[in-house]
Amino acid sequence: MGGIMIRTISPNPNRANFGRCSACAVRSLSICGALDQADLGEFERISRHAHLEANEALFTAGQVAAAVHSLTVGVARLYKLLPDGRRQVIGFALPGDFLGVSPADRYNFSADAVDAVSVCRLSREAFTHFIEQRPHFLMRINEFVSRELMLAQEQMLLLGRRTAEEKVAAFLVGWRERLAHIGDNRQTISLPMSRQDIADYLGLTIETVSRTLTRFEREKMLVIVTGGVRLLDTDRAEALAAA
């Protein structure tokens, strides 16, 4: 995976870049959506805009949790390495998601870019000070924590007593809903992550994921297209996902 290779643009002390946060396309979906113009200006002053290419590390498990990140573009992969060397993908972050908040001094999971991503990065010290001066902002953060808990519970169900077909269908339906939440309502469900990523998220082998998708296509439930899938039988997919 390599070390941290984030390329950042430092805040301009003369605030020549002021307005970047106001123009952010996912501001309403992110923690910043709760900020008024004055607070947004301060948030922008203490943040750095960072770009990462595919597979570059945002942060790694065990690293000192020195920063928090608000994803603005792209998809990030969240995972843990098990003691035996296997990888468990614990989630995928989309624009608007907030990453890196940890009650401990070190990150307890790793995050890297699935495709090219952009983030707003704030030092933990600056972010903590920002919150301390704005206790009302904690309500917004609590909303995000609650959503993360819900997603974690959904993954527990995915890893439970479900068949491979039910797991894959649930993933596709759930991912489609998350894409719709950020305004992506295209007929094709974009899947920038690899099938190995999906397998590591669902607790399956890559061969099982591939066979299941091929079976779904043969049974006319979906069609596999470049960069994703297109559901043809949404009712069946949702029925399998709800099983």
Boundary of a domain, candidates 154, 179, 204: 154
In this structure, is residue 2 part of a structural domain? no
In this structure, is residue 1 part of a structural domain? no
Tens-place pLDDT, residues 161-192: 789 999 999 999 999 999 999 999 988 999 99
Whether 169 contacts 241, CB under 8 Å: yes
Tens-place pLDDT, residues 109-161: 999 999 999 999 999 999 888 888 887 777 777 777 777 777 777 777 767 77
Q: What is the pLDDT of residue 21?
A: 73
Whether 88 contacts 82, CB under 8 Å: yes
Q: What is the pLDDT of residue 34?
A: 77
Q: Measuring CA to CA, which residue among 111, 44, 92 is closest to residue 190? A: 92
Q: What is the pLDDT of residue 19?
A: 54
Same domain, yes or no: 187 and 85:
no
Same domain, yes or no: 171 and 134:
no
Same domain, yes or no: 35 and 70:
yes
Same domain, yes or no: 49 and 142:
yes
**29: pLDDT confidence band, cut at 50, 70 and 90?**
confident
The alpha carbon dihedral of 97, 186, 154, 194 has a sign of: negative
Tens-place pLDDT, residues 183-226: 999 889 999 999 999 999 999 999 999 999 999 999 999 999 99
Residue at 216: amino acid letter: F
Same domain, yes or no: 118 and 169:
no
Same domain, yes or no: 238 and 165:
yes
In this structure, is residue 49 part of a structural domain? yes
Half-sphere exposure of 11 (CA within 13 A, CB side): 17
Angle at 230 between CA 227 and CA 236, to 5 degrees: 140
pTM attached to this predicted model:
0.83
The domain in which residue 230 lies consists of 159-242
Assign residue 143 the CATH number of its domain: 2.60.120.10
Same domain, yes or no: 75 and 101:
yes
Q: What is the pLDDT of residue 240?
A: 95
Boundary of a domain, candidates 121, 136, 154: 154
Assign residue 175 the CATH number of its domain: 1.10.10.10
Same domain, yes or no: 21 and 53:
yes
Q: Residue 108: is it exposed, middle or buried by C-beta count within 10 angstroms (0-12/13-18/19+)?
A: exposed
Q: How many domains does the chain have?
A: 2
Q: What is the 3-state secondary structure (H, E, C) of the chain?
A: CCCECCEEECCCCCCCCCCCCCCCCCHHHCHHHHCCHHHHHHHHHHEEEEEECCCCEEECCCCECCEEEEEEECCEEEEEECCCCCEEEEEEECCCCEECCCCCCECCCEEEECCCEEEEEEEHHHHHHHHHCCCCHHHHHHHHHHHHHHHHHHHHHHCCCCCHHHHHHHHHHHHHHHHHHCCCCCCEEECCCCHHHHHHHHCCCHHHHHHHHHHHHHCCCEEEECCEEEECCHHHHHHHHHC
Same domain, yes or no: 112 and 164:
no
In this structure, is residue 130 part of a structural domain? yes
Same domain, yes or no: 52 and 142:
yes
- The rounded distance, in Å, linking the Cα atoms of 35 and 185 is 27
In this structure, is residue 88 part of a structural domain? yes
Whether 99 contacts 111, CB under 8 Å: yes
Same domain, yes or no: 147 and 180:
no
Same domain, yes or no: 97 and 201:
no
Boundary of a domain, candidates 116, 135, 154: 154
